[in-house]
């Protein structure tokens, strides 16, 4: 069932008003749409570039109903939302993408994994934890993950040995084999209402080991073409299996045996796709807007190699953000600076990002590493 919109006055709702919502809103405004943001923080990053904000939480059923009813179509910048009311609204009017049923499935990382596994998508060996003994089913060391609510390295524990078992995560969790990782890869995949699929290049994620947050992304990944093709196919297969509409960040492990496994899927724009704003013909943020508003998808062509670094709040600081090194950083050739206008910095909070375009991916990587050294987000208060 496809809809025809009045594109000169299309009303788009975005649940979530952080940096992903901000750039989504900008791309929707580029196409002339009216944008409403639902977010609990007044004047959140996305609201600053949107027509309207509904101030409310992601588990506030009334506010969720309000944004959906006020909008021709509603989408997400995050998956941690109450799906019960959204499912009812979706059944009535089919104007929420991705579907809240899909969001619900993805919220539970165990169910997500089980779903992909049953569809024949390779995933790491996993098992639900029902009793403490389950933690040791595959032996130790093991990765334990919260089934719900984790992000940016939160809700993940490495249990190295028996002593670590006392630090096991509480609540509903599952375990996953400790994969022998050569590289972490990611692929953005978009699928529109009519089922058209567009797949972005394979990129490589480098992590800040201190906090397990993806820190640097390079595009394209330095992998051979066979692996690239396999990663793209596996990512497309995953989104087709999920019948997803919108944009999806598919995170993959490349093992030391050159085996590919799907780690997890984000049903929204993803940090690993920020580079698309400057480096691709159509950004991930415009692509989701096209996908959910019944428009043809844009070209995912990589126009130039690129690298992206997240700007995380420095350890030791909080309060109003203070940017250090901006002049020297902006002297770097081919650099684009994004700052999210969050009112408060915290250690390791994502405050902005930088993308550098270069003729080679190594050149781009070198430049973002330099930028990472120079630019610091400190704060008005010391912690």
**Annotated binding-site ranges:** 109, 145, 176-179, 184, 263-264
Q: Cα–Cα distance between 197 and 363 in angstroms, integer?
A: 31
Minimum CB–partner distance for residue 299 and a copy of itself (Å):
5
Residue 267 DSSP symbol: S
Does 374 help bind a copy of itself (rule: CB under 8 A)?
Answer: no
Query: Quick one: 212 or 336, whose CB is closer to a copy of itself?
Result: 336
Query: Quick one: 128 or 336, whose CB is closer to a copy of itself?
Result: 336
Does 338 help bind a copy of itself (rule: CB under 8 A)?
Answer: yes
Q: Cα–Cα distance between 87 and 100 in angstroms, integer?
A: 5
Interacting stretch for a copy of itself, rule CB under 8 A, among 68-76, 92-100, 182-190, 293-301? 293-301
Strands (E), 31-113: 34-39, 52-55, 73-76
Which residues are bridge partners to 34 per DSSP?
11
Q: Cα–Cα distance between 33 and 40 in angstroms, integer?
A: 22
Q: Cα–Cα distance between 284 and 75 in angstroms, integer?
A: 14
Minimum CB–partner distance for residue 204 and a copy of itself (Å):
21
Does 333 help bind a copy of itself (rule: CB under 8 A)?
Answer: yes
Instruction: Provide the H-helix boundaries in 94-210.
Output: 100-107, 109-118
Does 291 help bind a copy of itself (rule: CB under 8 A)?
Answer: no
Query: Quick one: 49 or 214, whose CB is closer to a copy of itself?
Result: 49
Q: Is the peptide bond before 215 cis (omega within 30 degrees of 0)?
A: no
Does 51 help bind a copy of itself (rule: CB under 8 A)?
Answer: yes
Binding residues for ATP are 109, 145, 176-179, 184, 263-264
The values of phi and psi at residue 82, to 5°, are -70, 120
Task: Tell me if residue 223 falls in helix, strand or coil.
Answer: coil
Q: Which residues bind a copy of itself (CB under 8 A)?
A: 6-9, 22, 26, 29-32, 34, 48-51, 278, 281-282, 286, 290, 295-296, 298-299, 301, 303-304, 320-323, 326-327, 330-331, 333-341, 352, 357
């Amino acid at each position: 069932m496809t809809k025809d919109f009045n594109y000169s006055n299309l009303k788009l709702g975005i649940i979530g008003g952080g940096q992903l919502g901000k750039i989504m809103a900008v791309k929707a405004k580029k196409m002339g749409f009216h944008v409403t943001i639902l977010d609990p923080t007044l004047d959140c990053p996305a609201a600053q570039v949107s027509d309207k904000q509904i101030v409310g939480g992601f588990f506030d059923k009334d506010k969720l109903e309000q944004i959906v009813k006020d909008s021709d179509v509603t989408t997400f910048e995050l998956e941690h939302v109450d799906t019960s009311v959204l499912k009812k609204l979706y059944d009535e009017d089919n104007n929420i993408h991705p579907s809240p049923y899909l969001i619900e499935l993805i919220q539970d990382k165990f169910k997500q994994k089980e779903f992909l596994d049953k569809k024949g998508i390779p995933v790491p060996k996993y098992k639900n934890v029902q009793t403490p003994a389950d933690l040791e089913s595959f032996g130790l060391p093991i990765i334990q993950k919260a089934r719900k609510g984790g992000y940016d390295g939160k809700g993940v524990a490495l249990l190295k040995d028996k002593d670590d078992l006392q630090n096991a995560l509480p609540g509903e969790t599952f375990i996953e084999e400790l994969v022998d990782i050569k590289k972490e890869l990611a692929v953005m995949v978009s699928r529109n209402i009519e089922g058209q699929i567009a797949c972005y290049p394979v990129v490589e994620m480098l992590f800040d080991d201190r906090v397990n947050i993806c820190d640097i992304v390079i595009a394209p990944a330095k992998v051979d073409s066979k692996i690239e093709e396999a990663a793209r196919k596996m990512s497309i297969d995953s989104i087709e299996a999920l019948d997803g509409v919108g944009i999806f960040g598919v995170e993959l492990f490349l093992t030391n045996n050159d085996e590919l496994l799907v780690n997890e899927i984000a049903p929204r724009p993803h940090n690993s796709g920020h580079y698309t704003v400057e480096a691709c013909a159509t950004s991930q943020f415009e692509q989701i807007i096209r996908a959910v508003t019944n428009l043809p998808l844009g070209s995912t062509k990589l126009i130039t190699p690129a690298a992206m670094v997240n700007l995380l709040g420095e350890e030791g600081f909080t309060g109003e953000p203070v940017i250090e090194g901006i002049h020297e950083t902006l002297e770097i050739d081919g650099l684009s600076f994004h700052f999210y206008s969050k009112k408060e910095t915290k250690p390791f909070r994502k405050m902005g990002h930088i993308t550098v375009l270069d003729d080679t991916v190594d050149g781009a990587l070198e430049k973002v590493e330099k930028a990472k050294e120079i630019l610091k987000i400190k704060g008005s208060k010391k912690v």
